[in-house]
Structure 1
Amino acid sequence: MATDRLDEVLDAAYECLTRYGVRRTTMDDIASVMGVSRSAVYQYVRSKDDAFRRLAGRLHEQALGRARHAAAEEAPPATRVRGVLAAKLDLVSRLAGDSPHTAELLDEKARLFGDICHTFTADLRRLLITLFAEAESPAGVEPAEAADICLALVTGLESAPDGRQLLAPATEALLTGLLGAPAGAGGRT
């Protein structure tokens, strides 16, 4: 039951974030969206900063869950890699698209969320390293290098207006080089 209320607080914090941004949102704003008193909100979070930090954590953890699911699928390595990258791109696209303020949750330099963003990227990198190690890339690229190349690709796609549509052909081209065979072909890809 308490988890449900915490989710309500975080949902309200997200709604406030889309309207006002982190700095301009107050605990009163969050309480107002929930239809409760400010003291009721304090039962679930210590402060506005705590609410936004937990919100960032929840969103990144959900995306990481999608990435882990994609990595664990019974599918060719290229499909699994594409799924991991899609989880990151989807998170960024969602936050960048909901409001100019929501992208604040992605700021690796932000005092409140920087460590969450860094941990998320490091976790994705580890997933990708594992996938490339399993695929035994014949291209002579170390798994860690391949992971870094893929993360650089998706970071580039994050700023492209049609990044989501470019993900499939971009990963197809990249993974053809990294895995030594077309991603859509049978065999080890």
Structure 2
Amino acid sequence: MGTDRLDEVLDATYDSLTRYGVRRTTMDDIASTMGVSRSAVYQYVRNKDDAFRKLAERLHAEALARAREAAAGDTSTAERVRGVLAAKLDLVLRLAGDSPHSAELLDAKARVFGDVCHGFNGSLRLLLVDLFTEAGTPAAVEPAEAADICIALVIGLESVADGRELFAPATDALLTGLLGAPVTTPTRH
């Protein structure tokens, strides 16, 4: 299977998603967006659900790669944790900004790709547990609990209109408590 052609199918799937949503998008919409026949699309995906599942997998894999890169960075623990959390928040805010329909790809309860969302959150949790294990946390908070608290914070920020603006002060406050030392977001010029 040609990866470039599959990427074109997934790009067309995303374009159709932003216009029509998951339920209303058809294989004809995807094919039309690509300028090919429906049978050409079937060479790369089995059906509409498969196209959306592969799209969700690609978007989550890209975000997870950014999170892993942040976790492995040569910066402070706070900056690495913030990078992992930013990868999750950016995924959601990007999709929500592209179209109200795009958020359907992030629905952990969706029958087609809920496991993709769940697996993504689980992978982020493991990255965070490792970071908090390495850095240490206050005696009252286990690294796994610290990871869960961080993920809960981002889930909350995903649901408010000014989540991006609240991200820095919210993570500063949370990480100051979880890491036991004052943390502030560096000013970027």
The two structures have a TM-score, normalised by structure 1, of: 0.95
Matches of 1:77 and 1:139 in 2, distance apart? 18
Alignment pair present for 1:75 and 2:36: no
Please give the per-residue CA displacement for 1:137-179, whole angstroms capped at 9, x wherever unaligned. 2353100000011011111111111111111111111110110
CA contact (8 A) 1:139 1:177 kept: no
Please give the per-residue CA displacement for 1:19-46, whole angstroms capped at 9, x wherever unaligned. 1111111111100000011111111111
CA contact (8 A) 1:82 1:171 kept: yes
Identity, in percent, stands at 76
CA contact (8 A) 1:139 1:178 kept: no
Matches of 1:37 and 1:116 in 2, distance apart? 29
What is the aligned length?
185
Matches of 2:10 and 2:115 in 1, distance apart? 19
Unaligned runs of 5+ in 2: none
Matches of 2:143 and 2:176 in 1, distance apart? 15
Matches of 1:110 and 1:94 in 2, distance apart? 19
1:59 aligns with 59
Q: CA RMSD in A?
A: 1.2
Matches of 1:18 and 1:42 in 2, distance apart? 21
**Letter in structure 1 aligned against 2:70:** A
Query: Pairwise mapping of residues 63-142 of structure 1 onto structure 2 (< 5 A)?
Result: 63-142=63-142
CA contact (8 A) 1:139 1:179 kept: no
Matches of 1:149 and 1:19 in 2, distance apart? 35
**Letter in structure 2 aligned against 1:69:** E
Matches of 2:141 and 2:106 in 1, distance apart? 29
2:145 aligns with 145
Runs of 4+ in 1 over 6 A off after TM superposition: none
1:172 aligns with 172
Matches of 1:45 and 1:30 in 2, distance apart? 11
Matches of 1:122 and 1:134 in 2, distance apart? 18
**Letter in structure 2 aligned against 1:51:** A
**Letter in structure 1 aligned against 2:34:** M
1:13 aligns with 13
**Letter in structure 2 aligned against 1:10:** L
Matches of 2:66 and 2:145 in 1, distance apart? 23
Matches of 2:139 and 2:172 in 1, distance apart? 15
**Letter in structure 2 aligned against 1:57:** E
Matches of 1:164 and 1:18 in 2, distance apart? 21
Matches of 2:10 and 2:81 in 1, distance apart? 30
Unaligned runs of 5+ in 1: none
1:49 aligns with 49
**Letter in structure 2 aligned against 1:171:** T
